[in-house]
Amino acid sequence: MSAQLEGSEVVVRDQSEASQIYNKGYYGVPQTGGALKLDIMEATYLVESERLEVHSGGKQMSAGDLLRFAHKVSQGFELRYLVYRELRQRGYIVKLGQPPLDFRVFPRGGSPNKTPSKWWVAAISERSTFDLGQLLDNLDRTLDVRKKLLLAVVDEESDVTYYEVKRIIPKGKLGAVDLTREVDAVLMADRVLVTDPDDAAALHGGHFFGKQMGRMLQLSLIEAAFLVELGALKLADARTGRPLSLATVRKRARGLQPDFDLRLDAFKDMKAKGLVVKTGFKYGSHFRAYEGDPNKQHARYLVHAVPKDYKAMWPEVSRAVRLAHGVRKEILLGRVSEEEVEYVGMSRYRP
């Protein structure tokens, strides 16, 4: 079938051929009079698939010619084309989206003008920066129109990995911390020890704070700071016996862990949501979070606390998602701001 390059679009003039192309894949936009207007993405794919011939200036253009032409007039075209091509080869109807999102993808069996699109897709290079703020803006756009957001990340070998992105509100089954008993503890370098057996049992028995050492209890700095602020823990220096204020505890903790305040804010928010929160160090994250008794169930979430303006490289994000998937947990980025902690879940997805 023959078409002509006109500006940055491709037009099929023959009404019969235009109808055939449109009806077998919903390529292009039908025009008054029976012609079909294709965007350069669709035309390149059809030429590569040997379903269309495109002419310009009396010469036939190959798929490579179209790719080079599109690269000149549309920045990042070759990256988006790889995603478009891959989705089309999977059998999906794909249409261009509204920037900054690249494509609207329809469910199998669906079609434009009859079926709502299922996903909005952003094509991304593995070398690009992961910008959480921009990601949330795109996610909100899709949620406003009841779509799902897919990130299509293209690696240097042109393979595409898809990530589904969701806002998540984690929720556990625990109630408020018991404040009827103030517990004494001592700070030793980077950890806290509760020596009284009854005090240790009181803290560990309700919210599973700390790690038991016989009849004693060892708390992390984050747990200790949380309990001191709550009024459930009275802390003293192990060497001098002098009482320690919350400000002193936090100052010491920042010296050991510069992002301590960020992590503490995320910890406090998760505790307010009824979760049991433990360190996620062995899984390469800040926290692991349980919905109930950690002795009876596995952690559901791995949580990484990040600042409001968090940016990273995609390989870092890919590793975190892959690791969480490998241990059957959900990875959450807890975006900490002065107003709230927002949780963003990411998982690999095969459309």
- Among residues 81, 92, 290, 301, the one annotated as catalytic is 290
Q: Are residues 59 and 95 in the same domain?
A: no
Examine the fold and report which residue of 167, 192, 209 is the final residue of a domain before the chain moves on.
167
Q: Are residues 148 and 179 in the same domain?
A: no
In a domain, 280, yes or no: no
In a domain, 63, yes or no: yes
CA pair distance 200, 239, nearest whole angstrom: 21
State the CB neighbour count (10 A cutoff) for residue 137. Answer: 11
Q: Are residues 202 and 230 in the same domain?
A: yes
Q: Are residues 102 and 39 in the same domain?
A: no
Q: Are residues 207 and 159 in the same domain?
A: no
**Overall domain count for the chain:** 3
Residue 166 annotated among the catalytic residues of the structure? no
CA pair distance 186, 218, nearest whole angstrom: 10
In a domain, 338, yes or no: no
CA pair distance 261, 271, nearest whole angstrom: 15
For the chain, what is the radius of gyration of the CA atoms?
Answer: 28
Tokens of 242: 């002098």
- Among residues 118, 163, 329, 343, the one annotated as catalytic is 329
CA pair distance 205, 217, nearest whole angstrom: 11
pLDDT computed for residue 171 by the predictor? 96
Where are any strands of DSSP class E within 103-227? 103-106, 119-125, 129-131, 148-154, 160-167, 183-188, 191-194, 211-213, 216-220
Q: Are 103 and 83 a contacting pair, CB within 8 Å?
A: yes
In a domain, 315, yes or no: no
Within 8 A by CB and 6+ apart from 67, the residues are: 44, 77, 78, 81
Q: Are residues 104 and 65 in the same domain?
A: no
In a domain, 320, yes or no: no
Tokens of 133: 């703020």
Q: Are residues 195 and 222 in the same domain?
A: yes
Q: Are 161 and 350 a contacting pair, CB within 8 Å?
A: no
pLDDT computed for residue 249 by the predictor? 95
Q: Are residues 159 and 100 in the same domain?
A: yes
- The DSSP symbol for 326 reads H
Residue 286 annotated among the catalytic residues of the structure? no
Examine the fold and report which residue of 134, 167, 200 is the final residue of a domain before the chain moves on.
167
Tokens of 181: 């008993």
Domain residues for the domain of 201 are 175-259
**What CATH number did the domain enclosing 25 receive?**
3.40.1170.20
Residue 294 class from Cβ within 10 Å (0-12 exposed, 13-18 middle, 19+ buried)? middle
Residue-by-residue pLDDT tens, the chain, 351 positions: 899 999 999 999 999 999 999 999 999 999 999 999 999 999 999 999 999 999 999 999 999 999 999 999 999 999 999 999 999 999 999 999 988 899 999 999 888 989 999 999 999 999 999 999 999 999 999 999 999 999 999 999 999 999 999 999 999 999 988 888 899 999 998 999 999 999 999 999 889 999 999 999 999 999 999 999 999 999 999 999 999 999 999 999 999 999 999 999 999 999 999 999 999 999 999 999 999 999 999 999 999 999 999 999 999 999 999 999 999 999 999 999 999 999 999 999 999
In a domain, 311, yes or no: no
Q: Are residues 95 and 163 in the same domain?
A: yes
- At position 147, the amino acid (one-letter code) is K
Tokens of 17: 């051929």
In a domain, 82, yes or no: no
Q: Are residues 252 and 184 in the same domain?
A: yes
In a domain, 351, yes or no: no
Q: Are residues 33 and 53 in the same domain?
A: yes
Residue 163 annotated among the catalytic residues of the structure? no
Examine the fold and report which residue of 228, 259, 290 is the final residue of a domain before the chain moves on.
259
**What CATH number did the domain enclosing 97 receive?**
3.40.1350.150
Peptide bond into 307 cis (omega under 30): no
pLDDT computed for residue 350 by the predictor? 92
**pTM across the whole model:** 0.90
Helical axes 63-73 vs 77-89, angle rounded to 10°: 130
Tokens of 201: 């049992």
pLDDT computed for residue 181 by the predictor? 86
- Among residues 171, 234, 298, 311, the one annotated as catalytic is 298
Q: Are residues 181 and 254 in the same domain?
A: yes
- Give the residue carrying structure tokens 């050991």: 256
